[in-house]
Every structure is written in C-alpha cells, then in structure tokens.
Amino acid sequence: MLAISTASVEQEINPWESAAHRFDEAAELLRLDDGMRKVLRSPAMELQVNFPVALDDGRIEVFTGYRVQHSIARGPAKGGIRFAPDVSLDEVRALAAWMTWKCAVVNIPFGGGKGGVICEPHLLSEGELERITRRYTAEIYEFIGPERDVPAPDVNTNEQTMAWIMDTYSMHQRHTVTAVVTGKPLELGGSRGRPEATGRGCMFVTGEAMKKFGLIPEETRVIIQGFGNVGGMAARLMRQRGFKIIAIVEYDGAVYNPHGLNVEALQEHRLESGSITGFPDAEDVDKDEALLLDCDVLIPAARENVITSANAADIKAKILCEGANGPTTFVADSILAEKKVFIIPDILANAGGVTVSYFEWVQDRQGYF
C-alpha cells in the first residue's frame, strides 16, 4: 500500500489516482494476472466534446463535456451525467470505473460509464440548461443508446435533464426511445421509487452494518453530509424508521441538534430560505467541524474527497456509509481502518439507484410502463 507519509495531496485527492490505487490493491488480493489487470484498469473509451451554446443575453459560450465508458464487458455502459464547474476528465474516469465495480457487486448486466459538463448550473437559466443538455446529447449521440451506454441523473441533473436527453436522442432516431436514459419522469417511462432508491439503499445497508454493533435505530445518532437526492432522502427515510438525525451538512453550512432534527421541517425551511442554516430548531455549526461530531453513523452523500488524511483521524463515527461516490480518499481509508471504523464502500452503499435504474431500463425495453 502507498504509505500515508509519501502520498502527495495531489495524488490523494485526484479521483482517478484514488480509483486506480484501490483497483491495484484489489487486483493484488484477487491475484489477477497482468493481462486482466491491464484490461480492467484502463477505460475502454473516452470522449471530450466542445460545443457552442447561445446564452439568454445573446452571447455564445463554448462548453466542454465528457463521456467515458470504462467497461462494456457485462453489458451497456451505465452511469450518470453531472453538471458542475469542477468536472474533469480524471473525475469522470474514476466515476466510470466505480460504476463498473458497482454494477458487478449488485450483479446487474451493465458496465460502467459516466459523463459531465463543465458549467455552473446555479448561474444558468432553465432555458440555458436545456440548450446545454440538448447540444451535449447531440455531440455524444453516436456513443449512447439502450444497448450501448445508458446515462442517468447525477450531481445537478435530474429527471427533467433526462427528459431533454431522451427527447433529443429520439429526434435523431426518428422514433421514441425511452430506454436511452433512466431516472426519467414517470410520464416518460420512469420507474416508481427511482428518486428515493439511492437514499433508501443507504438506509438498508446501514441497518445491516448496525447489527455488527448491536445498534437499534432509536439509539443511533446519524450525521449526513448532503441534503439532496441521496442525503435528503436518506435523512427523511431514516427519521421515519426512528433514527436520530443529529446533524445535516451542506456546502454553505451545517445544523446540529443532539436530540434529533425534524427533517421534514428542515426541508421546508430550506425551500423557503434557500439554505439549511438559520433553522430555528437547531444550532448552526461549521460544516467541516460537523463531520467530526460524536455520532454512530456518518453518511457523506455529497461529493468525493470529503474524508481525507487531514480529518480521518478525528472521525468519531462507528459506521461510515459512503452515500456519495468516492467520498473517502485511499489514504483516509487506511487511517479509518486503523481506527476500526466500519466502512460501507460506495460501490455497495449507493447502489440502490443503479439497481432501480436497471428495473426502469428493463421496463422500457419491454414496454411495461
């Protein structure tokens, strides 16, 4: 293993370096031969597109997008599309590889893929986002399809984004192709339960891990980073099961109540104010310090590289459930292992989403809506 002291910060936080390091460790344990290692370590296809889009003020801006297919050995590539200002090819490579392993872990017939567009969605209008999505789809059109590569929602994309992709792809095909994406609206061939599937999966696997420690929901204190599709849904579902959600962490702050947060009221507060901070039934705390509070379960469900060598030693949770992809760096992994923190890896913890996406894909292929 790469020694903690010799891993540079750049190596540690680079998603592809982290994914490749973990693969090398697993390959060694599995005693894979050199040929198989080379095949599984390298992405099968990488695509970069640069495309112009007209903004609302009349300016033309050129956006960069990526689509990576890591492996199609088990079936069509499967993986989300994210819109974010810090999207990079290395990040998309890593996410595609993790999708390969994730689909294999839950034994569904997909390979791994991922996509992204470099943009700041919070500064773009709905019309601008639609034009970006449709032009990006047109650029990658020849590389996606129900039997080749099936995108899905990810960071800053949703069922509306998938509807635009499906419509654009279908126009090129000259007939409706619902199975080109998953995570669609129900009216366009989506599956019931898909929006909450990832968060529900986190709750289920956490419940299984709790048996190791003799924990029951009513006595289990949970901290969740991320209050969106994964974290927000996990928080709501876990509170309904009796878990005590003591802190929620977002990009702009965190709130804490040692007696448990009213998750539904917090969601309403965020809708009204635009932030979770200032919630009357909780204390505002530093977003970085919140991850280090005493708890039983920590669920990082936002972005990668949240738990690093800089804070891993101060994590107090007994169970760390990786709701996001790659939230723990490979250096932090070794530190947490020494602390006996039970880690539920992302390729299992957040596999609920792709599992229900598979159901949606099958329904669409067979015309069962």
- What DSSP line would sit under 299-316, residue for residue? EE-S-SS-B-TTTGGG--
CA distances from 72 to 43, 77, 100, 220 (A): 10, 5, 8, 40
Answer yes or no: are the C-beta atoms of 112 and 69 closer than 8 Å: yes
Torsion of CA 73, 75, 76, 81, to 10 degrees: -80
Read off the tokens for 41: 């370590």
| Sheet-wide strand order for 342-344 | 283-285, 253-256, 244-250, 221-225, 297-300, 319-321, 342-344
Pairing, β 149-153 against β 221-225: unpaired
pTM of the model: 0.93
Q: What is the pLDDT of residue 6?
A: 52
Q: What is the pLDDT of residue 74?
A: 97
Read off the tokens for 155: 């960071």
Active-site residue identified among 102, 114, 244, 318 = 114
Please tell me the distance from the alpha carbon of residue 247 to that of residue 221, in angstroms, as a whole number: 9
Please tell me the distance from the alpha carbon of residue 264 to that of residue 267, in angstroms, as a whole number: 5
3 state SS of 60: strand
Per-residue pLDDT of the chain (369 residues; tens, 9 = 90+): 444 435 677 778 899 999 999 999 999 999 999 999 999 999 999 999 999 999 999 999 999 999 999 999 999 999 999 999 999 999 999 999 999 999 999 999 999 999 999 999 999 999 999 999 999 999 999 999 999 999 999 999 999 999 999 999 999 999 999 999 999 999 999 999 999 999 999 999 999 999 999 999 999 999 999 999 899 999 999 999 999 999 999 999 999 999 999 999 999 999 999 999 999 999 999 999 999 999 999 999 999 999 999 999 999 999 999 999 999 999 999 999 999 999 999 999 999 999 999 999 999 999 987
Phi, psi angle pair for 116, to nearest 5°:
-170, 155
CA proximity to 201, closest of 22, 359, 362: 359
Answer yes or no: are the C-beta atoms of 349 and 322 closer than 8 Å: yes
CA distances from 270 to 23, 237, 250, 266 (A): 39, 18, 11, 6
Pairing, β 244-250 against β 253-256: antiparallel
CA proximity to 194, closest of 73, 53, 363: 363
Answer yes or no: are the C-beta atoms of 240 and 263 closer than 8 Å: no
Q: What is the pLDDT of residue 13?
A: 85
Q: What is the pLDDT of residue 147?
A: 98
Angle at 26 between CA 24 and CA 30, to 5 degrees: 115
Read off the tokens for 327: 């939230």
Answer yes or no: are the C-beta atoms of 318 and 294 closer than 8 Å: no
Element (H, E) at 136: helix 126-140
3 state SS of 38: helix
Read off the tokens for 166: 């499906």
CB atoms within 10 A of CB 246: 24
Rg of the chain (C-alpha set): 20
Please tell me the distance from the alpha carbon of residue 314 to that of residue 308, in angstroms, as a whole number: 10
- For the four alpha carbons of 151, 157, 162 and 164, in that order, the dihedral sign comes to negative
What domains sit in the chain, N to C, each tagged with a CATH number? 1-42 (no CATH), 43-190 (3.40.50.10860), 195-352 (3.40.50.720)
Q: What is the pLDDT of residue 329?
A: 95
Residue 79 Cα to chain centre, angstroms: 10
Catalytic residue check, 114: yes
Element (H, E) at 172: helix 159-173
Read off the tokens for 290: 């919140």
First-to-last alpha carbon distance for the chain, in angstroms, is: 48
